[in-house]
Structure 1
């Protein structure tokens, strides 16, 4: 490509193609379904434990089981979307989600429920990274933060919209039918995506794979910004996975609210989290437009709320009153949402587009490992505590420590604005060394 052609390419890629926001909205709905599927077990936790006579440890295992294949699936599919159009990958994932819900409609054993949650987790593991990769084919780098924020908000709206409806089904009919309703909704999304889903025009996967310079994966995955994103989001996801599994049981069994009341209270963290995520996406994009580096407008902006949120959670065990404890939990855990907005664009800054799907997927696979650990740790702590409320408060204190530590590490490591140049120089130096090693003497 000549020097004269380069500006034209840059000019083309800075314009958002027609249809980009339609795809963003469809993928937002994709994440709505994704998180509605996740929340249903936590929302129906008390009825499930009562009907199946489960202990706190068994229910913690059920919450963790969702993540058993989550990370493995994310990595495998991440490499697949480097070469396969995201349109078909997203369709396949959504079909798996829908089908895995229907066995719970009838009488179900604990083993069957466990297996279905493992299968669902395998289908949902790659969801966010594949959806982000798909959106980035529609938006240039400087315009990606807000679409990422909207995509992330599918999680909050999935809970906000689903919880009242699912809780109504649970209270007035049965928790079994709540799963069936989610299966039907999943199939509706599949039909909409078949009709309207398209591949983004800004990047051609096959062309990029053949022509774009590569950076060795070992350098990408050991870069400080990649490691910082993994650690920071690990702490945020610890809080999220507790919210998915244990928030409603905490409201009912720990604080004494009814299942009907808990249905409304359970949406509060997600409403607050949605506000944080949208604000973060907007503020980040404004800061970048005003000339701030992505170190500040993405790295610092995402890490500091984690630290502040963790500090707020530490106060839960030292205050009296259900209302105040809920407020601290809502605000403390809700602040975690900022990191989800900024990390995928940061990784996209320095990762070649033909390798981005795999890098985003590996990032997702690693940080979601906390989803295996956190629900099980909470269940064990509750089981062994002197009282149920003490167990919950101890579990949330552990969560606070994890958040503070991960936020501090993220603050130290997230430097995306200098990462690309450093990695490119490293790859070039390595290539030169290899050529020198094989050249004849």
Structure 2
């Protein structure tokens, strides 16, 4: 196997399609948070119940994410992406009828199960088109399918919610998902680029596979997952509670609160695209992965943790929103770094599974964060105080996660250690 120095022909076309795939993926995620107030009013939900609804999306997310990652080691990713898009679309249509709390939870659980493998499988599909040194920009572009999905979809979905109902917002997402599935059916292809195996310095053989026990206990992978877990806690709160905080806590109208929902995503898109570009530029210039991927992203996560506690200390609503936007989004580059660090340390035959395990570990924060915020809000002295206490807790998590990343993300050292362990304890060919 050889390491290519340029993307395969058609790589950027596939990047565009996978970008749209992730755009729809995140539009599906945000609709519940965007419609928080009308859903709570129509179904007569308490903050704790709505927090449970937000968490329900993630109940099977990690499980199917890991299962999908192992499956992607054996099945072509183009088939898996098509099936996922169809599932996402069909599960939206029950919302067009009379909906109970139980039906809404069931549909969100199924949607979460269908979206669990999306990130790792899409990344694995993308990396079949680009060599390691050129993955920063395409990874950032696909990651920004999430941000642009919010920026593009939120004004449209909010218009539908305000002028029609939240039910029709779900139906619109179902139609868009089916349209992408048809497009992918005719245009989607599988990449053929293979990564170089992990090599022990001075050895004559290369490690085609590494025991999973070594990969799962690798300090760099564990550390980047810790930083990512803290950042995803903030993302999950944004998906579920950002609009509710603006409307219920700060007194904005549904229209204004919904439109302001895009602010963290605009800022995050700038951060991620700029961070992905800078990381790739530094990597090509010979800067170590520890610096250009690890320390750089982890420092921004810690910075967000330093900003968020000030939300509870200021009184101006505009300043509160600005601190919330910066604090939750400034560390977004970590979501670009996670797949690059994992891929740098994992042989290609195991890459999809390890990407899925890392993603599922990070996104497990989504199971806890919305429900935890709901409890804090419900039992606080005031709604505004409850939200802001929740954001201070997030700040502490970001600071701890960022510091762990700064200390322990060391890909070059861990790559040598993994290769040496693989050489000392050869692994029999595995099926996954």
The two structures have a TM-score, normalised by structure 2, of: 0.95
Partner of residue 14, structure 1: 5
SS in 1 for 2:91: helix
Report the structure number with the largest CA radius of gyration. Answer: 1
Partner in structure 2 of residue 69 of structure 1: 60
Once the two structures are TM-superposed, the CA of residue 212 in structure 1 deviates from its matched residue by 6.8
The structure-2 alpha-carbon separation of the partners of 1:336 and 1:221, relative to structure 1 and needing over 3 Å to count, comes to same
Q: What does 1:248-263 align with in structure 2 at a 5 Å threshold?
A: 248-263=243-258
Correspondence 1:296 to 2:282: no
- Please list the CA deviations of residues 169-201 of structure 1 after superposition, one character each: whole Å capped at 9, or x if unmatched: 000000000000000000001011111110002
* Offset of residue 431 of structure 1: 3.2
State how many pairs are aligned.
Answer: 419
**Aligned to 2:425, what secondary structure does the other structure show?**
helix
- Is the contact made by 2:69 and 2:356 (CA closer than 8 Å) also made in structure 1? yes
Structure 2 distance, partners of 1:343, 1:373, is: 21
Q: Is the 8 A contact 1:212 1:354 kept in 2?
A: no
Match of 2:324 among 323, 329, 333: 329
User: Which residue does 1:26 correspond to in 2?
Assistant: 17
Runs of 4+ in 1 over 3 A off after TM superposition: none
Q: C-alpha separation between the residues in 2 aligned to 1:203 and 1:123?
A: 27
The equivalences for 1:105-254 within 5 A come to: 105-203=96-194, 213-254=208-249
Q: 1-side partners of 2:332 and 2:104: how far apart?
A: 29
Unpaired segments ≥5 residues, structure 1 = 1-5, 205-210, 435-441
In the TM superposition, residue 157 of structure 1 has moved relative to its aligned partner by: 0.5
Deviation for aligned residue 1:263:
1.7
Q: How far 1:368 moved relative to its partner?
A: 0.7
1:437 match: none
Equivalent residue, structure 2, for 1:431: 426
Pairwise CA distance, 1:430: 2.0
Query: TM (normalized to structure 1)?
Result: 0.93
What CA distance in whole angstroms lies between the structure 2 residues aligned with 1:125 and 1:309?
26
| SS, match of residue 133 in structure 1 | helix
- Separation (CA, whole Å) in 1 of partners of 2:114 and 2:331: 24
Q: 2:343 aligns with which of 335, 348, 355?
A: 348
Q: Retained in 1: the 8 A contact 2:86–2:177?
A: yes
Contact 2:303-2:331 at 8 Å conserved across structures: no
RMSD: 1.5
Aligned pair partner of 1:386 in 342, 358, 381: 381
Conserved 8 A contact 2:207-2:419:
no
